[in-house]
Chains A and B, each alone.
Chain A
Amino acid sequence: MNFEFTEEQLMIQQAARDYAQRELIQDVIERDTHSIYPSKHVKALAELGFMGMMVSPEYDGSGMDTISYVLAMEEISKIDASTSVIMSVNNSLVCYGIEHFGTEEQKQKYLRPLARGEKIGAFLLSEPEAGSDATSQRTTAEDKGDYYLLNGTKNWITNGNTAGTYLVIAQTHPEKGHKGINVLIVDRDSAGISVGPHEDKMGMRSSDTHSVMFTDVKVPKENRIGEDGFGFKFAMKTLEGGRIGIAAQALGLASGAMERSIKYAQERKAFGIEIAKHQSVAFKIAEMAIKVENARNLCLKAAWLKDQGKPYGYASAMAKYYAAEAAMWITTEAVQIHGGYGYVKEYHVERLMREAKLTQIYEGTSEIQKIVISRELLHIH
């Protein structure tokens, strides 16, 4: 058992913290207010190596472990979860999916620019009528011999408009149910793709979320990842790792809100003393710290299991569930500690609270995580 980080891991944590606290903080409120995509930050983070953190240097990635990824995601998310979700989707869904299940040609062609952050990836699973129930895919990828013909609509797609590379989950053999689903790498500029308007969201407002429509889009056969029918398994495997990214994001929202609460509680006075000296506030902060510590340990355990090549789906579901619930509670209480100031944008915590809500919903709702956890314990597959 060793709870020490390596020198490199600490340097990565510090680099992410420095970038977030010096740069992201500058325009985070304005980007949130006006739903402005953080182009310059995505470019800068790419240059620092944060967009392909865990990809092997052989494919232009940074070659870091998942522990480092958790540390970086936490630091970025403390300041700006809109930017960290762009990072999370690119790293743990798109890059991971292509690196671990793609062919050498797919890696050379698609993974390299994604790992360098020159292109951004999007993961297209959700549909208007298939969210948690990902088996009910209505988007079809009809086998036409040497290509697939893609038709359908995907919803709630992070990086939907800015992505250069889509990973699209679609049904090829409806009669086989989820075993007929495929995953295709689709160039954003392929003919027949149209992107819906920017979703006007409650939080994560500067990440670009769109629906994406496919009308007779031809996708070359060589762009299918894995065997025919591998798509659903691919999605589930990839989301196991994606959950670590979102868990770490929720952790960052939680710890960021806690840090702001501690600072504020030591400055603000009520009834002649700092509010930190009122037990009702001090106890809230103690509970925040316990939840942050638990969330961090769950995230790091899942990351460690992944780095060791051990099964981590159960651990990442726990981390995602716990961190998201903790983030929601802590950010809500942070607003309470800040009182009226917490309800205005300048103090950030109201934004963290709006952002925290999404961590309970996307990449598997809290309820879905409980399904994953309970099925593992009850041996239901």
Chain B
Amino acid sequence: MNIFVCISNVPDTTTRIKYKPGNKEVDYTGVQWIINPWDELALTRAIELKEANQAAIQKITVITVGKADAEPTLRKALAIGADDAIRVDVAPEDAYTTAVQLAEVLKSEKDALILSGVESSDFNSWSVGGMLAELLDAPSVSAVSSLNIEAGNVVVTREIEGGKQTITTTIPSVLIVQKGIAIIPRIPSMRGIMTARTKPLKVVQGIASQPMVKVLDYQAPAQKSSCRMIDPENIEELIDLLHREARVI
């Protein structure tokens, strides 16, 4: 079995997002790019599984839809421990076009367990994994919080209302993973960083695809009020503010 981890290249989660004039496009000037945190956890779990099941898992491939500027993010995934990488040379437009491009590459992979983070931390559409499974006509399991290989079977635990559900799934399938799949994202070792540059990073051309979403307008959320320090000896002021300003008591 091969594991494919879909990687979204997203702005660092501490980035202050700005928009270009007209508020129809994000201004990415000066942005630091990272692996989408959910995808990073998925990759971490894939590596843990491969380390523990050398016989069952042959290879971990990371795949992204993006232009050349997404390559440092793929290199980091290789440094963390993926065996090879694929970049579909298309600027991602919406969840659907991303899923179409991924499906085109992955449709020939029959012995594949495909992992997709539940959402990306930039556009949060929660859609790519489900669309990808549909386009591949493969089973999909959502809200996966635990993944194991037991006696050659893929055993998955998912969060459901009021509890957890454990199921097995066939191959190929798409697992849409959330927090819990791994606890701490793996930090690349020096050796991993040095070998990343020699690992294969294949660039494939995309296919024609029309987005289904048209952005009309972006709006920044209202600015959070800043932290206010109250002198510990001034409890009355704290009570007054909680009552009068925050209106919580």
- Chain A, residues 318-360, CB within 8 Å of chain B (1/0): the string is 0000000000000000000000010000000000000000000
- B228-A49 in contact (CB<8A): no
B241 vs chain A, min Cβ distance (A): 12
User: In residues 2-26 of chain A, which contact B (Cβ within 8 Å)?
Assistant: 7-8, 10-12, 14-15, 18-19, 22
Binds A, one of B104-112, B126-134, B173-181, B182-190: B182-190
The 8 Å CB contact of A49, one of B75, B190, B226, B227, is B190
- The distance in angstroms between the C-alpha atoms of A53 and B191, with both chains bound, is 10
- B75-A19 in contact (CB<8A): no
- A64 located at the interface, meaning its Cβ lies under 8 Å from any Cβ of chain B in the complex: yes
- The distance in angstroms between the C-alpha atoms of A63 and B193, with both chains bound, is 11
- A48 located at the interface, meaning its Cβ lies under 8 Å from any Cβ of chain B in the complex: yes
Which residues on A sit within 8 Å (CB–CB) of B229?
Answer: 267-269, 341
Q: Using A18-B187, A49-B189, A49-B190 as known contacts, say yes or no to A11 and B227 having CB atoms under 8 A apart.
A: no
Q: Using A62-B194, A267-B227, A269-B226 as known contacts, say yes or no to A11 and B76 having CB atoms under 8 A apart.
A: yes
A17 vs chain B, min Cβ distance (A): 10
- B202 located at the interface, meaning its Cβ lies under 8 Å from any Cβ of chain A in the complex: no
- A307 located at the interface, meaning its Cβ lies under 8 Å from any Cβ of chain B in the complex: no
What is the number of contacts between chain A and chain B, taking CB atoms within 8 Å? Answer: 56
Name B232's closest neighbour in chain A (CB-CB). Answer: A340
- B191-A11 in contact (CB<8A): no
- A48-B227 in contact (CB<8A): no
Which residues on A sit within 8 Å (CB–CB) of B75?
Answer: 7, 11
User: In residues 142-194 of chain B, which contact A (Cβ within 8 Å)?
Assistant: 184-185, 187-191, 193-194
- Chain B, residues 55-96, CB within 8 Å of chain A (1/0): the string is 000000000000000001001100100000000000000000
- B20 located at the interface, meaning its Cβ lies under 8 Å from any Cβ of chain A in the complex: no
- Chain A, residues 206-233, CB within 8 Å of chain B (1/0): the string is 0000000000000000000000000000
The 8 Å CB contact of A267, one of B72, B76, B187, B226, is B226
- Chain A, residues 242-271, CB within 8 Å of chain B (1/0): the string is 000000000000000000000000111100
A69 vs chain B, min Cβ distance (A): 11
Which residues on B sit within 8 Å (CB–CB) of A64?
Answer: 190, 194
Which residues on B sit within 8 Å (CB–CB) of A18?
Answer: 185, 187
Most buried by B among A11, A47, A62: A11
- B24 located at the interface, meaning its Cβ lies under 8 Å from any Cβ of chain A in the complex: no
- B197 located at the interface, meaning its Cβ lies under 8 Å from any Cβ of chain A in the complex: yes
The 8 Å CB contact of A50, one of B72, B190, B228, is B190
Q: Using A62-B194, A267-B226, A269-B229 as known contacts, say yes or no to A19 and B189 having CB atoms under 8 A apart.
A: no
Name A268's closest neighbour in chain B (CB-CB). Answer: B229
- B193-A15 in contact (CB<8A): yes
- A274-B193 in contact (CB<8A): no
Which residues on A sit within 8 Å (CB–CB) of B226?
Answer: 266-267, 269, 274
Please report whether the interface of chain A is mostly helix, strand, loop or mixed according to DSSP: helix
Name B76's closest neighbour in chain A (CB-CB). Answer: A11
Name A61's closest neighbour in chain B (CB-CB). Answer: B190
- B197-A48 in contact (CB<8A): no
- A22-B79 in contact (CB<8A): no
- The distance in angstroms between the C-alpha atoms of A53 and B193, with both chains bound, is 12
User: In residues 4-54 of chain B, which contact A (Cβ within 8 Å)?
Assistant: none
- A63-B194 in contact (CB<8A): yes
Name A14's closest neighbour in chain B (CB-CB). Answer: B76
Name B227's closest neighbour in chain A (CB-CB). Answer: A267
Which residues on B sit within 8 Å (CB–CB) of A53?
Answer: 190
- A12-B190 in contact (CB<8A): yes
- The distance in angstroms between the C-alpha atoms of A49 and B193, with both chains bound, is 10
- The distance in angstroms between the C-alpha atoms of A16 and B88, with both chains bound, is 30
- The distance in angstroms between the C-alpha atoms of A14 and B187, with both chains bound, is 9
Most buried by A among B187, B228, B229: B187
- B193-A11 in contact (CB<8A): yes
Which residues on B sit within 8 Å (CB–CB) of A11?
Answer: 75-76, 79, 188, 193, 196
Which residues on A sit within 8 Å (CB–CB) of B187?
Answer: 15, 18-19, 48
Name B12's closest neighbour in chain A (CB-CB). Answer: A14
Which residues on A sit within 8 Å (CB–CB) of B227?
Answer: 267-268
Q: Using A22-B184, A48-B187 as known contacts, say yes or no to A12 and B228 having CB atoms under 8 A apart.
A: no
Which residues on B sit within 8 Å (CB–CB) of A57?
Answer: 191, 194
- The distance in angstroms between the C-alpha atoms of A235 and B229, with both chains bound, is 51
B69 vs chain A, min Cβ distance (A): 12
- The distance in angstroms between the C-alpha atoms of A14 and B75, with both chains bound, is 13
- The distance in angstroms between the C-alpha atoms of A145 and B84, with both chains bound, is 57
- A47-B193 in contact (CB<8A): no
6 other A-B residue contacts (CB within 8 Å) besides A8-B193, A8-B197, A11-B188 = A11-B76, A15-B189, A47-B189, A50-B190, A53-B190, A64-B194
B positions within 8 Å CB-CB of A? 72, 75-76, 79, 184-185, 187-191, 193-194, 196-197, 226-229
**Can you pick out 19 interface pairs between chain A and chain B where the beta carbons lie within 8 Å of each other?**
A7-B72, A8-B193, A8-B194, A8-B196, A11-B188, A11-B196, A15-B188, A19-B187, A47-B189, A48-B189, A50-B190, A57-B191, A62-B190, A62-B191, A64-B190, A267-B226, A269-B229, A274-B226, A341-B229
